[in-house]
A and B are shown apart, each in its own frame.
Chain A
């Protein structure tokens, strides 16, 4: 069974530029999550989707971050404009209902 796929793996941008990340969850997993992990900290949930709908986006900085999950499968996370403090690893995870979440390899973002 294929795991969670993410791209790109690395991205370097200047502040105020925009960037987008892509995630393809494990087949059949209805729930998809985006996390931000700053160096030395645990992952922080940004947004949770159940199929196409948003379940929790309480910690998403909505003035600059947006996310969508079309057709209940793939998802994209966008940052516009990026700030220096957005430098982090962006992790996508997926799960079946109550079960554990499985993470993709992540995208390491550096904002200069």
Chain B
């Protein structure tokens, strides 16, 4: 079982719709959760982080965390073609600062 799992996609959404990305993790002691966006040929760029159960909103992005279910999600509202990228879920475990990444979900926003 992988430590951090994501659906590889592609997740195809029409422009203006909501894109919903999911991530599950195996380390129950994980403390911090991050979403990175990675455009093709570029390095990962931090877009959201969340530490506590519940929702956290930042502009068009909402991160949702449920530690009991070991589940973290990212919603992208009013999706734009510029949101087309791979979204990486990363989880920081209970010990140290080690970040474990999922394989990423590729999102395609169609005009």
Interface residues of A (CB under 8 A from B): 31, 33, 40-45, 48, 55-56, 89, 91, 95, 97-98, 100-106
Contacts and interface: CB of A to CB of B under 8 A. Distances in A.
Main secondary structure on chain B at its contact with chain A?
strand
B98 A45 contact: yes
Given A98-B32, A100-B34, A100-B49, A105 B98 contact: no
Contacts of B45: 103
17 contacts: A31-B97, A41-B104, A42-B101, A42-B104, A43-B88, A45-B98, A48-B96, A48-B98, A56-B96, A91-B44, A97-B97, A98-B32, A98-B97, A100-B46, A101-B34, A103-B45, A104-B43
Given A42-B104, A98-B32, A100-B34, A48 B43 contact: no
B17 to A, nearest CB: 25
Contacts of B49: 100
A105 B36 CA distance: 14
Contacts, number: 48
Contacts of A40: 103
Contacts of A97: 97
B32 to A, nearest CB: 7
A40 B88 CA distance: 11
A83 to B, nearest CB: 22
How many chain B residues sit at the interface, stated as a range, is: 20 to 34
Contacts of B34: 100-101
A103 B43 contact: yes
A98 B99 CA distance: 11
A101 B98 CA distance: 10
Contact of A101 (B4, B42, B99, B102): B99
A45 B102 CA distance: 12
B43 A105 contact: yes
A45 B99 contact: yes
